[in-house]
Amino acid sequence: MEASELVLAPDGTGWSRLTNAAGADDTTRLTWSCPRPGLLVLRETSLAEGGGPSVPADGTLETGYRLGEEDGRTVLELEQPVEFTCRYTRTGDARRP
């Protein structure tokens, strides 16, 4: 089993996280912006693999996005995957890793 998490905080920071049954627990800290409607830019600032120490990271992803609603929850659909998925549903229970 695998789980992906993407958190975009109001202050322009956030993180993505990938965990799986094999023991992976990788967290990427990032900054984000929307320079124009429908475009999301994610910039990696650090990466921690397997729960280990963070190391600097320097990657950028520009992707189209769409916000929608399903079952009363906000859904973010990305044109390009982040942590192996293009679809995230707001759960409201994000906790900083």
- Is residue 94 domain-resident? no
What are 8's two structure tokens? 């975009």
- Is residue 95 domain-resident? no
Mean local confidence (pLDDT), 62-85: 96
Q: How many domains, the chain?
A: 1
CA distance 34 to 36: 5
The residues pairing with 27 across neighbouring beta strands, listed in sequence order, are 17, 48
CA distance 32 to 21: 29
Q: What is the pLDDT of residues 22-60, one digit of tens each?
A: 878 999 999 999 999 999 999 999 999 988 899 999 999
Mean local confidence (pLDDT), 6-27: 92
Q: What percent of the chain has pLDDT over 70?
A: 95
